Amino acid sequence: MKREKTYRAPAKINTCLHVLGKRPDGYHELAMLMQPISLYDEVEIACDEGSGIEVICPGVEMPEGADNIAARAAAELLRFAGVEYAVRIRIEKNIPVAAGLGGGSSDAATVLIGLNELLRLDVDRRELMRIGASLGADVPFFIFGGPAWATGIGDRLEKVASMPDLWYVLVNPGVAVSTAWVYGNLRLTSSGDVDKLRRFPETTEEFVRLLHNDLEPVTMSRYPVVGEIKQRLIECGAIGSLMSGSGPTVFGVFTSEEAARNAYRRLEAETDWRVLTVSPLD
């Protein structure tokens, strides 16, 4: 009964991220505008009769086997559906690891969506998002699909109908940042209720004014290269620049593909950072 298929797992950026407080369960209360982008991991899922879950991720130092978030996603879905299969997952990583781009969460979400389809389990999207939330705060967003306003720990999502037509240049300096360390060293600064923070930018100017990340000063204090990257992106023509998530990846905002490509070529030639040009996904 072998079935297999390859899926694309997109990265994301946070175009605004407010940390509103710490919850009794240890998580933080957040208010974020999240945007999926055209940078993908390739997730190949194969199912057959039998049992056991195997995850392979060639060339990347990350947990394999049962400790991988993708393996946990498969195990949780099979447990919920009350079925047993042999599942093999192969992940080709294109999204930098521990970079603020949600790659691991996207892989887990893609496993939930793909396995549900391959095995014809008919688990609805809301239930998949609930399972995803038990794996990681960003996983529901990738199941939800499209740009979204996220609150709670990131699991309460509201669709954003449209965003300005922009291009992004991503710059990653090649250091891995621990999300737990960043939150552990955060001094809360955002205030006000979620409704006042909620903004759906319709113009480029509104979008740029919205750029904000409470985690950026924390990461930048340990990795000053984040500030250097922001400055270089502005020098290369970005109309705004911000660190995504807990970093260290920084994105620059550009009004055209040509402007983004020009900045990409300049940064590629002048630095040893990893540079990528991406567009938003609807």
User: Between 2 and 59, whose confidence is greater?
Assistant: 2
Which residues are catalytic, by number? 12, 138
- CATH for 249: 3.30.70.890
* Nearest-10 crossing angle of helices 257-270, 225-235: 130
pLDDT value for 28:
85
pLDDT value for 199:
67
Beta-carbon count within 10 A of 222 CB: 16
In this model, does residue 158 exceed pLDDT 80?
A: yes
My answer on whether 100 and 229 are in the same domain is: no
Phi and psi dihedrals of 220, rounded to 5?
A: -65, -30
My answer on whether 36 and 111 are in the same domain is: yes
- Print the domain residue range for 121: 3-159
The alpha carbon of residue 127 and the mean position of all alpha carbons in its chain are separated, in whole angstroms, by 20
Per-residue pLDDT band for 194 (boundaries 50, 70, 90) equals: low
- Reported pTM: 0.92
My answer on whether 119 and 189 are in the same domain is: no
Phi and psi dihedrals of 168, rounded to 5?
A: -125, 145
Q: Give 5-20 pLDDT, tens digit per residue.
A: 999 999 999 999 999 8
My answer on whether 194 and 274 are in the same domain is: yes
